[in-house]
């Protein structure tokens, strides 16, 4: 069975899902505005340069854990779902949402794979009617966050390993699957699937994709998009790949 795995930040969402969620949590009073401001400079750099935030996924996790330590899991989860509906839904990348729908129309499973917390990832996956997600889990006891992780950050090789475990459980063959990501840290995952697609990657990631003959999708510049794989449509599909053009 085929499936498509989608990264979240700078792939399905423009920028950082943590930052966008934080904006919404500030309005509810759950997160202090001064704490969100610490993300702002990194977020600006991330969007403009397509380079991951300073400190990487672990740094983001550490900052998030500090913000929610001691807070109610029910409250945070509910607020994250509301943030996804009201804020993240507004910064989804239309071309990539179209790709998710296209895979679904083709009868393929779709999964979100991200270093972001499961509280955010599950809400995004539900919003896009995806089959599930692989995400970082936060530790909780007695209904409150402890300020610790429940396991490693789902990042780099760890993300690839967890996707392989998911594929084994669900009877998916990675040799027939797609993976979409902007990050050089996702090379282990992209290297495991039949159809790796670099989305909105920086020059370094695009160069690697070119050398390996992988697909490249740039949602801002169609002239940078290169799709060497069979077209993603069939006679029964209701969604056409009009926004992902093929470049020579």
- Give the residue among 90, 74, 157, 152 at the shortest CA–CA distance from 127: 90
Does residue 181 form part of some domain? yes
Does residue 60 form part of some domain? yes
Does residue 217 form part of some domain? yes
Does residue 180 form part of some domain? yes
Tell whether the torsion through CA atoms of 135, 140, 146 and 148 is positive or negative: negative
State both tokens at 111: 């999964």
- Give the residue among 55, 43, 50 at the shortest CA–CA distance from 203: 50
Q: Which of 9, 182, 186, 218 is catalytic?
A: 9
Does residue 247 form part of some domain? no
> Structural domain of residue 13, as residue ranges?
3-224
Does residue 243 form part of some domain? no
Contact call for residues 182 and 198 (beta carbons, < 8 A): yes
> 1-48: per-residue pLDDT in tens?
899 999 998 899 987 777 767 666 666 665 555 555 555 444 444 444
> 50-83: per-residue pLDDT in tens?
455 444 444 555 566 777 788 889 988 898 888 8
Neighbouring C-alpha atoms within 13 Å toward the C-beta of 224: 17
Is 7 one of the annotated active-site residues of the chain?
Answer: yes
Does residue 103 form part of some domain? yes
pLDDT beyond 60 at 86: yes
For the CA atoms of the chain, what is the radius of gyration? 18
Amino acid 239: pLDDT: 36
Is 9 one of the annotated active-site residues of the chain?
Answer: yes
Does residue 146 form part of some domain? yes
* Number of domains the chain is built from: 1
CATH of the domain at 43: 3.40.50.1000
This prediction has a pTM of 0.83
State both tokens at 190: 């992209």
Work out the angle at residue 212's Cα, subtended by the Cα atoms of residues 206 and 215, and round it to the nearest 5 degrees. Answer: 60
192 secondary structure, DSSP code? T
């Amino acid at each position: 069975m085929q499936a498509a795995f989608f990264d979240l930040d700078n792939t399905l969402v423009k920028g950082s899902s943590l930052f966008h969620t934080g904006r919404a949590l500030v309005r509810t009073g759950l997160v202090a505005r001064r704490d969100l401001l610490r993300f702002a400079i990194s977020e600006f750099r991330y969007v403009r340069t397509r380079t991951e935030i300073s400190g990487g996924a672990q740094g983001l996790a550490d900052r998030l854990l500090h913000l929610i330590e001691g807070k109610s899991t029910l409250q945070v989860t509910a607020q994250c779902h509301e943030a996804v509906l009201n804020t993240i839904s507004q910064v989804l990348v239309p071309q990539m949402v179209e790709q998710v729908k296209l895979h679904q129309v083709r009868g393929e499973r779709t999964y979100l794979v991200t270093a972001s917390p499961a509280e955010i990832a599950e809400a995004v996956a539900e919003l896009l009617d995806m089959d599930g997600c692989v995400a970082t889990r936060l530790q909780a006891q007695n209904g409150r966050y402890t300020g610790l992780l429940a396991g490693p950050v789902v990042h780099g090789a760890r993300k690839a390993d967890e996707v392989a475990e998911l594929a084994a459980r669900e009877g998916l063959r990675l040799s027939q699957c797609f993976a979409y990501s902007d990050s050089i840290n996702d090379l282990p995952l992209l290297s495991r699937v039949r159809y790796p697609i670099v989305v909105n990657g920086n020059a370094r990631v695009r160069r690697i994709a070119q050398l390996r003959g992988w697909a490249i999708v740039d949602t801002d510049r169609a002239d940078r998009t290169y799709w060497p794989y069979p077209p993603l449509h069939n006679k029964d599909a209701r969604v056409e790949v009009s926004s992902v053009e093929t470049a020579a």
